[in-house]
Every structure is written in structure tokens, then in C-alpha cells.
Amino acid sequence: MHITEGIITGTPAVLYTCAGLALVGYGTTKMNAFVKSYPEKRPLLGMAGALIFFISLIPLPAFTGTCSHPCATPFIAILFGPAITIALTGGSLLLQAAFFAHGGFGTWGANVVALGLFGSLAGWGAFYFSRKIGVSLWAAGFAAGLIGDVVVYMASGVILAGELAHAPTPQYSFSGYLIVIYAAYLPTQLPIAIGEMIITGLALHNIQQQRPEVLVDLGVIKCGSERSGKATRIAGFILLLAGTLFLWSGGHVLAASEQGVKGSKKNFSQMLAAKAPNSYSGMDEAINEKLAENAGLEPKDPLINIESMGDLWNALLLFAGGVCGFILGRWWHLISKKRS
């Protein structure tokens, strides 16, 4: 999840760029130390740069019918460590901005923080914690992929919400924007997080099956057989999954419980909490009507009044929408004359 160019401006942009530079600088010193200790592995860093670039461009299918890309930083952090991964992410983001029109220079620092720092630290941390408590390699990879991706998504959301909440004349507070951003990206990011979880775990498992010496050489596993203790592993894995879900919902809870309402800005959670006149009222009555009243707008009849059309018309409308969606999904490539 890249933060798009042009969103972050002013002092935050400068601060994020400085943070990005400092992080990449720190990663580079670690790379130098690595090269000094293992001069024979110098080209490995270059190949790691190619890998991080490549994995972040692997198309992953999402349940919504779209495709998007994994973060790659959790997996690379498992193989090469978080500090080196941060530096490589910085380089990779520069290349992506310059030659592949992904991200941009203005949001480079923010992307280094979200993808590099949070992605690699969360992925690496989850992996090593899992291994420490005796979880098998594939399960630890699952945990790293999932938690790393979710944390990148959450960090990007926080960065974006922080920026939007400080823009002139905002509609919502920080927490309001946070919920809007999380809700807007949830349909694509959740399947991608699951996809990243599976491919990270499977890739580690397959490498271990084929060439365990490579993982030993990279310091991912130690020589000798895998530890036993199935029950502990399963318990640990469930604990990690639960932790991820906690992190996931925690973001929403935190956002919802945020109390800082400034001026006329509306906290989304407060709007949700505002009880409707009767317990069967929906979104329109509880939120939109209130918003319209506050903005001084009078209620109008909807363009398509589904309530007055009757069930048959509604069913036909639904069916027509489904057919159009199918046609567009099946033959969309004819528009661009290309099938990817």
C-alpha cells in the first residue's frame, strides 16, 4: 500500500523525508557492517534489492476480483534482517518512483516509514517471536506475512489520517478519517494480507524443504532438526492470530474512543454513537440526515426510489447490476485491448 504522491505536504512531508533518510542511513550502516563481516555475500544484497522490488510487484488476487501487490518487507526482513530491509526498501521506492511511476518523491519518506520501518519490524518481530515460542517455520512465516501486511496498512492509515485531519476545513477528526480510510481499503487490503500470509509461509516452507542450508546460511534457522512440541506451536500460532485481530480491531476501537473533537468537526465514532430516534433506523436517518440538517440542506426525493418501486423492480435492478458487473468483469480487457 503506497501513499500516493501529493497527499503529504508542508512540515510533515519534511519530517517524514528526514525520518526516511535517517532510517535508510541506519540501514546502510548495517549493510556496510554486513559487507565487512561477509565480503563474499556482497552480491546477495544486490539480489535482495531485486527481490524486494520484484515481490512488491507480484500480482496477488483479491476476493473483490481485483489484483494488488504484497508489501514484501516482512519476507525480506526474515531473510536479511529489518535494518537492511529498510535500506533496500528506500532504494526500491526510489526506483519505483523514477521508472515505474509507483509512489513518488514527495511521499518517499512516509512510504519508507510505513513499508520499511513498520512492515519489516512487525514481520521480523512476529517471525522471531513465533520461532522463540516454538512455532514451526511455515506458521511463523504465516504470522509474519499477516502481521507485517496488517501493520503496514494500519501505519499508512495513521499517516494519511494525520495528514487529512490537519488539512484546512476537514469534515472529520483524526479518528473519523482513520475509520474512513480503514473502511475504504479494507475490501482489498484484507485479502492481500491473507495472500501475503500464505505466500510468505509457503515460500519459507518450500525453501526449507528443498534447500535448508540456504536458510541456515542466512541465519533464518539453525543447524539441526526443527523443534518438536506440536501443542505449543499450535497454541502459539493461535495466540499470534489473535494478536493480529486484536491489533486490527484495536485500531478501530482506539479511533472510536478518541475524544478530541475540535470545533465543528465531527467525530465519526460520535456520529455512529448518536442514537437514532428509533432502534430500527438505518444509516440515512442516523448519519446522513443529521449531516444534511447541519449543512442546512432540505430532504429531497431520491433519483431512484427503491422503496416505492416494489420488490420485482428491485430484483430486476439487482439482476441488471449483476449482469453488467459480470460483462464488465469478463470482458473489461476489450476496453484496453489488453489482457494482463
Nearest one of 123, 125, 145, 127 to 137, comparing CA atoms: 127
Q: Contact at 8 Å (CB) between 172 and 268?
A: yes
49-78: which residues touch another protein (CB under 8 A)?
A: 49-55, 57-58, 60-61, 63
Which stretch, 197-205, 227-235, 272-280, 314-322, contacts another protein (CB under 8 A)?
A: 197-205
159 touches another protein by CB under 8 A: no
Given 26, 66, 68, 91, the residue binding another protein (CB under 8 A): 91
The binder of another protein chosen from 106, 116, 125, 157 (CB under 8 A): 106
User: In this structure, what C-alpha cell is assigned to residue 324?
Assistant: 453488467
Residue 232 touching another protein (CB under 8 A) = no
Output the nine-digit C-alpha cell for 11: 512540515
Is 270 a binding residue for another protein by CB under 8 A? The answer is: no
Nearest to 230 by CA among 139, 128, 146, 129: 139
Cell 509457503, residue? 202
* 332 binds another protein per the rule CB under 8 A: no
Residue type, 322: G
- Give Cβ neighbours of residue 146 (< 8 Å, ≥ 6 apart): 126, 193, 194, 196, 197, 241, 244
Rounded distance between C-alpha atoms, residue 169 and residue 188, angstroms: 29
Q: Does 123 bind another protein (CB under 8 A)?
A: no
Nearer to another protein among residue 232 and residue 294 (C-beta): 294
Stretch that binds another protein, among 114-122, 124-132, 166-174, 241-249 (CB under 8 A): 166-174
Burial class (CB in 10 A: 0-12, 13-18, 19+), 41: middle
**With CB under 8 A as the contact rule, which of the stretches 111-119, 169-177, 231-239, 314-322 interacts with another protein?**
169-177
Residue 206 is a binding residue for another protein (CB under 8 A): yes
Q: Crossing angle, helix 137-165 and helix 120-132, to 10 degrees? A: 150
Judged by CB under 8 A, which stretch of 255-263, 290-298, 308-316, 324-332 contacts another protein?
290-298
Q: How far is the CB of 102 from another protein (least distance, A)?
A: 7
Min separation Cβ 268 and another protein, Å: 11
Nearer to another protein, 84 or 152 (CB): 84
d(CA 125, CA 116): 13
In the DSSP assignment, the letter for residue 41 is: G
